[in-house]
Amino acid sequence: MTFMSCFPKMYEKEGIKGHRSCAGNISEAMAPYGMNGVLDVTDPFNIFQNTPNYSLKALGSSKPGDYIEFKAMKDIICAASCCPYDLRGFNGGKVTDVAIVTGLPTQRRSS
Protein backbone atom coordinates (compact mmCIF):
# COMPACT_ATOMS: atom_id res chain seq x y z
CA MET A 1 0.00 0.00 0.00
CA THR A 2 1.31 3.43 -0.87
CA PHE A 3 -1.59 5.69 0.11
CA MET A 4 -5.18 5.64 1.22
CA SER A 5 -7.73 5.72 -1.54
CA CYS A 6 -9.09 9.11 -2.56
CA PHE A 7 -12.71 9.73 -1.63
CA PRO A 8 -15.42 12.25 -2.58
CA LYS A 9 -15.02 14.53 0.49
CA MET A 10 -11.34 15.00 -0.30
CA TYR A 11 -12.22 16.60 -3.63
CA GLU A 12 -15.10 18.59 -2.13
CA LYS A 13 -12.67 20.17 0.38
CA GLU A 14 -10.71 21.41 -2.65
CA GLY A 15 -13.88 22.85 -4.20
CA ILE A 16 -14.25 20.07 -6.77
CA LYS A 17 -17.67 18.39 -6.73
CA GLY A 18 -18.52 15.20 -8.57
CA HIS A 19 -14.92 14.07 -9.21
CA ARG A 20 -14.55 10.28 -9.40
CA SER A 21 -12.60 8.65 -6.56
CA CYS A 22 -11.16 5.20 -5.89
CA ALA A 23 -13.29 4.75 -2.76
CA GLY A 24 -16.38 5.91 -4.65
CA ASN A 25 -15.67 3.66 -7.63
CA ILE A 26 -15.08 0.61 -5.44
CA SER A 27 -18.09 1.19 -3.19
CA GLU A 28 -20.28 1.70 -6.28
CA ALA A 29 -19.05 -1.55 -7.85
CA MET A 30 -19.42 -3.48 -4.59
CA ALA A 31 -22.86 -2.15 -3.57
CA PRO A 32 -24.66 -5.20 -5.01
CA TYR A 33 -22.53 -7.33 -2.66
CA GLY A 34 -23.39 -5.43 0.52
CA MET A 35 -20.87 -2.58 0.63
CA ASN A 36 -22.59 0.43 2.17
CA GLY A 37 -20.49 3.34 0.93
CA VAL A 38 -16.98 4.76 0.92
CA LEU A 39 -16.45 4.17 4.64
CA ASP A 40 -16.59 0.40 3.98
CA VAL A 41 -13.62 0.59 1.57
CA THR A 42 -10.42 -0.69 3.17
CA ASP A 43 -6.99 0.67 2.32
CA PRO A 44 -6.02 -0.09 -1.27
CA PHE A 45 -3.18 -2.10 -2.68
CA ASN A 46 -1.69 0.39 -5.16
CA ILE A 47 0.01 -1.43 -7.98
CA PHE A 48 0.42 0.88 -10.96
CA GLN A 49 -0.34 4.33 -9.50
CA ASN A 50 2.22 6.98 -10.48
CA THR A 51 2.80 8.82 -7.18
CA PRO A 52 5.63 11.37 -7.39
CA ASN A 53 7.56 12.84 -4.45
CA TYR A 54 5.57 11.14 -1.70
CA SER A 55 7.82 8.22 -0.77
CA LEU A 56 11.21 7.74 0.87
CA LYS A 57 12.76 6.80 -2.45
CA ALA A 58 11.68 7.16 -6.05
CA LEU A 59 9.22 4.53 -7.21
CA GLY A 60 9.42 3.18 -10.74
CA SER A 61 6.63 4.21 -13.07
CA SER A 62 4.54 1.55 -14.75
CA LYS A 63 4.39 1.41 -18.51
CA PRO A 64 2.03 -0.16 -21.04
CA GLY A 65 2.32 -3.93 -20.97
CA ASP A 66 3.33 -4.18 -17.29
CA TYR A 67 1.30 -6.77 -15.45
CA ILE A 68 0.93 -8.64 -12.19
CA GLU A 69 -0.73 -12.00 -11.61
CA PHE A 70 -2.68 -13.11 -8.54
CA LYS A 71 -4.05 -16.52 -7.68
CA ALA A 72 -7.21 -16.64 -5.57
CA MET A 73 -7.03 -19.54 -3.14
CA LYS A 74 -10.81 -19.46 -2.63
CA ASP A 75 -13.84 -17.86 -4.28
CA ILE A 76 -13.62 -14.08 -4.04
CA ILE A 77 -15.41 -10.91 -5.03
CA CYS A 78 -12.92 -8.28 -6.07
CA ALA A 79 -13.16 -4.67 -7.23
CA ALA A 80 -10.54 -2.45 -8.80
CA SER A 81 -10.33 1.22 -9.65
CA CYS A 82 -8.03 2.92 -12.08
CA CYS A 83 -6.82 5.83 -9.94
CA PRO A 84 -8.83 8.92 -10.98
CA TYR A 85 -6.64 11.36 -9.00
CA ASP A 86 -5.27 13.70 -11.66
CA LEU A 87 -4.11 16.59 -9.44
CA ARG A 88 -0.65 17.61 -8.14
CA GLY A 89 1.31 15.47 -10.58
CA PHE A 90 -0.25 12.15 -9.63
CA ASN A 91 -0.61 9.76 -12.55
CA GLY A 92 1.20 12.21 -14.80
CA GLY A 93 -1.77 14.57 -14.47
CA LYS A 94 -4.05 12.32 -16.53
CA VAL A 95 -6.21 9.29 -15.91
CA THR A 96 -5.49 6.28 -18.10
CA ASP A 97 -7.23 2.95 -18.57
CA VAL A 98 -6.09 -0.33 -17.09
CA ALA A 99 -7.02 -3.77 -18.41
CA ILE A 100 -8.07 -6.39 -15.88
CA VAL A 101 -8.30 -9.96 -17.09
CA THR A 102 -9.98 -12.57 -14.92
CA GLY A 103 -10.56 -16.22 -15.48
CA LEU A 104 -9.42 -19.72 -14.83
CA PRO A 105 -5.70 -20.46 -14.78
CA THR A 106 -4.00 -21.26 -18.05
CA GLN A 107 -0.49 -22.51 -18.70
CA ARG A 108 2.15 -20.40 -17.03
CA ARG A 109 3.97 -17.89 -19.18
CA SER A 110 7.61 -18.64 -19.80
CA SER A 111 10.04 -15.84 -19.04
pLDDT (tens digit per residue) in 64-95: 888 888 888 898 888 888 878 777 767 677 78
Question: Would residue 1 count as lying in a domain?
Answer: yes
Higher-confidence residue of 50 and 64: namely 64
Question: Would residue 111 count as lying in a domain?
Answer: no
Question: Would residue 10 count as lying in a domain?
Answer: yes
Question: Would residue 108 count as lying in a domain?
Answer: no
Asked whether the beta carbons of 3 and 51 are under 8 A apart, the reply is yes
Cα Rg of the chain (Å, integer): 16
Q: Strand, helix or coil at 4?
A: coil
Question: Would residue 110 count as lying in a domain?
Answer: no
pTM beyond 0.85: the answer is no
pLDDT computed for residue 43 by the predictor: 73
* Structural domain boundaries enclosing 9: 1-103
Question: Would residue 23 count as lying in a domain?
Answer: yes
The two most distant CA atoms of the chain are separated, in Å, by 49
**CA atoms lying within 13 Å on the CB side of residue 16:** 12
Question: What one-character DSSP code corresponds to residue 34?
Answer: T
Question: Would residue 109 count as lying in a domain?
Answer: no
Q: How many domains does the chain have?
A: 1
Asked whether the beta carbons of 40 and 27 are under 8 A apart, the reply is yes
pLDDT computed for residue 81 by the predictor: 85
